Amino acid sequence: MIPLPPTPVAIVDDEEDMRASIGQWMELSGFIPAPFESGLAALDAIGPDFSGVVITDVRMPEMDGMTLLSRLLERDSDLPVILITGHGDVPMAVEAMRVGAYDFLEKPFNPDRLTDLVRRAAEARRLVLENRALRRERADGSALLRQIAGESPVIRRLREDILDGAVTGANVLVQGETGTGKTMIARALHGCSPNAEGPFITLNCAALPEDAPMTALQDRLIAARGGTLFLDEVTALPPPLQPHLVDALHDTSPGAPRLIAAAPEGTDEAIADGRLRKDLYFRLAAMELIAPPLRDRGEDILLLFDLFAQSLAAEHNATPPALSADDAATLLQFPWPGNVRQLRNLAERAVLRAKRGPVVLAELLDPVAPSGSEQLPQDLRPLKDHVEAFERMMIRNALRRHRGSIAEVMEELALPRRTLNEKMARYAISRSDFV
């Protein structure tokens, strides 16, 4: 499980001793204190997506706590604000609760009580921000599209095609080898489409028996109304069901589901031998997308391995393995018959093996797949290309580790500023992507 980052707590009080005292207690409780000597200073720093909690005194010059509360809630009505009140301010604090304050504490207060309040407020804030992020993702599908990671020309073009295809509402046929991410492409098409709020229903055609009843298809079509029906392995759809699916594709009534189908490469062969009806193919393939094999994606292989290793290391509470130049060359030269799925499996094995010591990726690759130099493809890339790919990976990894700090990257890689700038420009690496 990935540990959550510490929650910031804004402490607004005109008395320095009180700010310092609360700040010290918050830090000891695992929070990040952010002190402000006035409400105006706090307003300048706290935006609508502030990820933490606000603690404010009520009686302050220039702007009192009640005014600050109102101004903050105008920006974000879900922001948790805890008021610190004097004895005579309790009626005012009760009114603040009615307006929208999270809670209040009367001086003198028990620090443990304050910690408990902040913890509950922080959890409530986390859930609010998570729900907002999910709504934004469903609204534009951007998160799903980002999952199709890579900078190779074929992947850039694929993302553009997904955006183009999503808005048309036309049926889409996604073709590609096993493990190339056809389901992810289908989900991105749905997530970027106007019916993204509707259901995404999957029918695994290869899992249906030859004598599957018509209801197996009808039930999915009904469940997918207002959304998308994804037909995985469509060339394996039992022939008796295919005419019924053709009839269903004539449905243009409001709420009729959009169809996205996935098939391995070679639909022509499936049509020729009668496994896929030609009229069904033409109706499904109003638009066709190709999921490119990993071997055609160049340095995306290094980028994807790094992303998988980082994510899986967090999941397994481990340190991601450091790739050597030999490891990078192995990744770039391997033919990847299992595509992205095989690369992810390799990253997981590498993360787990790294717990016991250094990892050599060539030793972890599937022994039945080509691994010796005499079995590698003949069009091997020149040494210069491998060196550049390795440098690009090292710089990106260092920027990610140091959250875009150029000074720390220079120190880790032992590079002068000018050399690092030149390499980042040559490899089209932007510091802003890692801040």
pLDDT on residue 151: 86
pLDDT on residue 140: 54
User: Residue 336: pLDDT above 70?
Assistant: yes
pLDDT on residue 267: 87
Q: Mean pLDDT for the chain?
A: 86
Closest CA to 340 of 172, 145, 148: 148
Establish whether domains 8-137 and 142-292 are of one fold.
yes
Single-letter amino acid code for the residue at 176: G
Three-class DSSP category at 298: coil
Give the CATH number of domain 293-370; options: 1.10.3720.10, 3.50.50.60, 1.10.8.60, 3.30.750.80: 1.10.8.60
DSSP assignment of 228-256 equals EEEEETGGGS-GGGHHHHHHHTT--STTP
142-292 classified as CATH 3.40.50.720: no
Q: How many CA atoms lie within 13 A of 401 on its CB side?
A: 17
Mean pLDDT in residue range 224-242: 93
Three-state SS annotation for 192-206: CCCCCCCCEEEEEHH
Q: What percent of the chain has pLDDT over 70?
A: 91
Across-strand partners of 263?
A: 175
pLDDT on residue 1: 34
**Which range has the worst mean pLDDT, 34-48, 250-264, 322-336, 379-393?**
379-393
Kindly list the domain boundaries of the chain, sorted by start residue. 8-137, 142-292, 293-370, 382-435
Mean pLDDT in residue range 167-182: 93
pLDDT on residue 387: 73
* Superfamily of domain 8-137, CATH level 4: Response regulator (3.40.50.2300)
Find all residues with CB under 8 Å of 319, minimum gap 6, and list them.
Answer: 313, 354
Mind listing the pLDDT tens digit for each residue in 51-91? 999 999 998 998 999 999 999 999 898 899 999 988 777 78
**Which range has the worst mean pLDDT, 10-24, 140-154, 263-277?**
140-154
pLDDT on residue 296: 93
| Continuous segment of H or E residues that includes residue 411 | helix 406-413
Mind listing the pLDDT tens digit for each residue in 278-296? 999 999 999 999 999 999 9
Mind listing the pLDDT tens digit for each residue in 368-411? 444 343 344 434 556 666 677 778 888 888 888 888 889 888 98
Do residues 228 and 195 lie in contact, with contact meaning Cβ atoms separated by under 8 Å?
A: yes
| Continuous segment of H or E residues that includes residue 129 | helix 111-140
Q: What is the DSSP letter of 287?
A: E
Q: How many CA atoms lie within 13 A of 140 on its CB side?
A: 6
Q: How many whole angstroms separate alpha carbon 3 and alpha carbon 312?
A: 13
pLDDT on residue 137: 57
Mean pLDDT in residue range 254-265: 91
Mean pLDDT in residue range 255-279: 90
Mind listing the pLDDT tens digit for each residue in 289-324? 999 999 999 889 998 998 899 899 988 888 888 888
For tokens 């033919």, the residue is 335
pLDDT on residue 141: 61
pLDDT on residue 301: 93
Mean pLDDT in residue range 24-51: 92
User: Residue 354: pLDDT above 50?
Assistant: yes
pTM for the model stands at 0.61
